[in-house]
Structure 1
Amino acid sequence: MASPNHSRISVVRGDITEQSVDAIVNAANTSLLGGGGVDGAIHRKGGKSILEECRRLRAGHYGKGLPVGNAVATTAGRLPARWVVHTVGPVHSATEDRSALLASCYGESLRVAHELGAESIAFPAISAGTYGWPIEDAARIAAWAVHSAQLRVPEIRMVLFDDTALRAFKAAFGPR
C-alpha cells in the first residue's frame, strides 16, 4: 500500500463506469441531477439510487446546487465502485483564469475519497468535454493538482475516453 504522501498513479484508456475502484469521480453539473457525457453515463449505469441521493443532497445542504470546485459523495448504485464523488468543473473561459477551480475539483475529490476511507479512485478528464477545457491544459492542471494534493488515496487512476485525452494525460503525468 502507498504511504499517505505517495499514491500509485496510472493513466489508462477506458470507460470510467466500468472501473472497479472504491470511488469513481463524476464530472457533474451544479444541479447534481444528471446530464450529458460522464455525468449522464454514471447516472444511467449506476441507476436510480444515485439520483435519489443527489435529490436528497439538493433538498438539504446543497439546495442551490453543488458549487464549482467542490465535491460530495453518494452511493455508486450498480457501478463496480462503493461511491461516486461528484465534482463540478468550471466551464473553460478564454478571458478568465479558472484553473484554480479545476484544480480544486481534483483536490476536493481526493479529500472526500480520503475521508470515506477509499483505497482507490478513478478520475475522468474533468471539464475537458462539454465544458470546453483544452485537453493538454486540463491534463497539466490535473497532474499538478493530484501531485500537490494534501490528502491522498493509495491508488489514483486517470481514465480517459479517447486516444487524444490519453496522450495528453500520459504526457502531463509523465514518468515519476
Structure 2
Amino acid sequence: MIQVRFAGLGGQGIILMGEILGEAAVLDKKYVGQASSYGSEARGSACKADVVISDSWIDYPEVTEADILACMSQGTYEMHKGKVNPSTGIIFIDTQMVRPDPSSSLKHIPIPANELALRELGNRMAANMVLLGAVVKTAGLVSEGALLQSLSKRVPASFLETNQKAITLGFSLAQQGE
C-alpha cells in the first residue's frame, strides 16, 4: 500500500491531481481510497487530496502516514510535513512555492513545476500536472498510459493538450533525476 498526499492552495488544481491519480490507479486494476478537503473559500485556502493505492482491500481512504507528500505552497508544506513516514517518506516540492525545512531529515525532491509550466507551456495553471507527472514517474505509482487516459476523462478538451504536455514534461523531469 502507498499513501500519497497532494497539498496546496485552492485554485492550484490539487483536488484534480488526486482525482486523476486515483482514477489512473483504478485503470491499472488497483484498489483506491480517495479523500479531499479544502477551505471555505474557492481559491487561496489550504486544500489537500489523499490517494491510497493498494493491491488489496483498503480499510481507510485517507492518508494516515504519507509515503509521498507533494506540496505546492509553503503553508501546506508546514502543515503536512509532520505526516510523512519518517523512514521512507519522500516530499516533492514546487521550488518556486516551497522552501524545504533545512532541519528535516526527510528526502525532498525539488520540482520547478511553476517555472517550467510558464516557460515551456506559457501557462502557470499547468504546474500541477508537471508536478503530478514527476511524482508518478519517480515513484512508479501508475502506468503513464493510465495517467494520460485518466487525464483525458477529467480535463475539458480545450485544456487537454496543454495538460498532456505538462504531464509529459513532469515525466521527463523524473527521468533526468534518475
For the superposition of Structure 1 and Structure 2, which TM-score range results when normalised by the shorter chain?
Answer: 0.3 to 0.5
Give TM-score scaled by structure 2 length: 0.36
Greater helix percent: which structure? 2
Larger relative contact order (Cα-Cα within 8 Å, sequence gap ≥ 6):
1
